Structure 1
């Protein structure tokens, strides 16, 4: 069976399309992770996503804050951060406001990674989007951002059921 067969099989109703979209998110994530992990051996895609959040933040973020941003637990962030600290990309510090909360700070090695190693990969990454015109990119961006609303709605409904 080919992916084109599945696309055709799931294209004839809204219910099937919703299932296909959900499956596609999972499959696309796995394929992108495999590509990234084999292309940049220094760090995994999950480690990279954590570094990206640290890089984009205007202040040190706690493990809990980073977990919310990345959609995972504080413990997952802690594990990723500890590996990245051993590799020299980040430094784990105690938050000044709350000594119990740990924060992640960038190191020079992380800055070097984004300036040198990742900048080369970024050129390759743009190939992922060459199949879209500018209008489609804008539309896809809007739809993907709207998906966060759907995820939040789904989380609330799942949390409500647990009560």
Structure 2
């Protein structure tokens, strides 16, 4: 297989891996999908576990509308609190509730087992190469977003 064929194979495989990972991940928890879990994980990494819809959408790489849709679902389930910013009433802030934090704690062991199983067969060297590769892809994507990204 030449370089172009390998690139095409890897490129297509990324989508297959992502889709299969999402389907499996969604089976871990009936209350929180994989994409909702990612939203919560990114939110928990924000300062004071509080972030705006716009900031979250940029960090996750999804549209503001998709983030808002997920946030409203999570709010209905009692996992998020959505409020307006005191400084700018147009800004919607998201914050996890205590119920959310408690729920995430209950699934922690399953998450750890899931990730460990996903990385079976990866030694430190493979993990380092994978981490470097993903880091390079993220840099490339940031550059490409400047070129191909939608005008706002």
TM-score (norm: length of structure 2): 0.91
Matched residue, 2:22: 33
- Residues 1:52 and 2:41 aligned together: yes
CA distance in 1, matches of 2:147, 2:6: 21
The corresponding residue for 1:42 is 31
Query: With CA pairs under 8 Å and 6+ residues apart, which has the higher RCO, 1 or 2?
Result: 2
Distance 2:88 2:7 in 1: 43
Root mean square deviation, CA, Å = 1.6
Aligned residues: 150
Structure 1, unaligned stretches of length 5 or more?
1-11
Segments of 5+ residues of structure 2 without an aligned counterpart are none
Give the 5 Å matches for 1:122-133: 122-133=112-123
Q: What is the CA distance between 1:124 and its match in structure 2?
A: 2.5
Distance in 2 (CA, whole Å) between partners of 1:109 and 1:145 is: 34
TM-score by length of 1: 0.85
Could you tell me how far 1:118 is from its partner in structure 2? 3.0
Contact kept? 2:78, 2:97, Cα under 8 Å: yes
Aligned counterpart in structure 1 of residue 98 of structure 2, from 96, 105, 108:
108
